[in-house]
């Protein structure tokens, strides 16, 4: 197993993943900070979603956690990820790409647990071996491990209970928007297919959200046209929304609008023809250069990541054209090379 992933000498509280915003049922989960959007990102190898920022800061500032993790800069940088085995409650730290590769190869994760089985005792086992006088000292240190999950859960529902001073100071200094963005996506997460996102302007009387992918089919589908659907769910209710959907391959965008969300217009763009299903009565503008309308927003290049790459070199020009035709600044972008579902929250 790679030296880039190491077992930590702390174990996770049973409610940790729930407190940090994970709602799935996979055994393995990883968290990392995405500084570009100032957001906690959670991945279980299949689903990528946003987590609870405040809970993450509280967790990192805990007396038993901070000494172990402070060198990894998990509250500011994106180099390292924290990995949890929900079965053993063991925690691991490692390079983000390395951990993402492990999540995509469950057999490697099983090997990791075998190699680390005798790594060391959990704090519960160490407590059982202490002397009577040591019991009290360890008990004082261990009480917060139980408290922290209750605290984080309370913060998640907005009670405003105790906040670690360092975390509170950071949040006070940060000019957070009143309606922060939240994403959730299902992407095929190969080395070059990572989920990408960006939060832009949250001002103005409407919002422009762009979702992009190269294609929808999984590798084993071999381009099967019957599996070219990407599901898009819109939950956000902040302001009227202009929804822009872009892909290279022919995609059927299946849009679901949750009660309270308002879609003013949908813009679809691609090399091959794009279609919309699931909605009625909403104006749709199409820009498909090859088999569609004969006009495109992309000038031959199609973005699926926010940062510039060889395959998405003119991503900024696509955004510029969208902003021009909608007369609205971009609010958010999310995308990946091969996606099957996206959500705006």
Q: What is the pLDDT along the chain (345 residues), one digit of tens a residue?
A: 346 788 888 888 888 998 898 888 889 999 999 887 788 888 888 788 888 888 898 899 888 888 889 899 998 888 899 999 999 899 999 998 888 888 877 777 777 777 655 444 443 444 344 433 343 333 333 333 344 444 444 443 332 222 334 444 443 444 444 456 778 888 875 555 678 888 888 888 899 999 999 888 765 565 566 678 999 999 998 789 999 999 988 899 999 999 999 999 999 988 888 899 999 999 999 887 665 455 667 655 678 888 644 444 445 678 888 999 999 999 999 998 888 899 998
Confidence (pLDDT) at 3: 61
Is there a contact between 208 and 330 (Cβ–Cβ < 8 Å)? yes
Confidence (pLDDT) at 47: 81
Confidence (pLDDT) at 316: 61
Confidence (pLDDT) at 160: 28
């Amino acid at each position: 197993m790679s030296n880039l992933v190491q077992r930590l000498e702390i174990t996770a509280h049973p409610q940790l993943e729930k407190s940090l915003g994970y709602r799935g049922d996979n055994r393995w989960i990883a968290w990392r900070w995405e500084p570009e959007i100032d957001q906690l990102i959670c991945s279980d190898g299949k689903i990528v979603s946003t987590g609870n920022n405040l809970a993450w800061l509280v967790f990192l500032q805990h007396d038993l956690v901070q000494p172990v993790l402070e060198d990894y800069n998990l509250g500011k940088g994106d180099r390292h990820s924290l990995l949890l085995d929900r079965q053993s409650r063991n925690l691991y730290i490692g390079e983000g790409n390395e951990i993402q590769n492990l999540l995509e190869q469950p057999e490697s994760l099983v090997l990791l647990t075998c190699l680390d089985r005798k790594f060391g005792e959990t704090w519960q086992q160490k407590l059982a071996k202490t002397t009577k006088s040591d019991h009290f000292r360890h008990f004082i240190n261990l009480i917060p491990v139980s408290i922290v999950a209750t605290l984080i859960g309370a913060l998640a529902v907005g009670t405003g209970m105790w906040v670690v001073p360092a975390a509170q100071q950071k949040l006070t200094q940060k000019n957070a928007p009143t309606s922060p963005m939240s994403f959730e996506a299902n992407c095929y997460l190969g080395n070059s297919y990572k989920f990408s996102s960006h939060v832009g302007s949250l001002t103005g009387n409407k919002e422009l959200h762009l979702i992009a992918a190269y294609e929808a089919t999984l590798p084993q589908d071999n381009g099967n046209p019957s599996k070219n659907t990407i599901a898009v769910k819109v939950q956000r209710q902040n302001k009227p929304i202009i929804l822009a959907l872009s892909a290279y391959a022919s995609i059927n965008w299946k849009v679901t609008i949750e009660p309270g969300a308002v879609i003013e217009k949908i813009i679809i763009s691609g090399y091959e023809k794009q279609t919309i299903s699931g909605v009625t009565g909403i104006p749709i503008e199409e820009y498909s250069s090859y088999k569609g309308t004969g006009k495109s927003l992309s000038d031959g290049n199609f973005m699926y990541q926010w940062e510039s790459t060889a395959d998405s070199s003119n991503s900024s020009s696509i955004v510029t054209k969208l902003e021009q035709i909608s007369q609205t600044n971009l609010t958010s972008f999310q995308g990946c090379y091969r996606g099957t579902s996206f959500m705006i929250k």
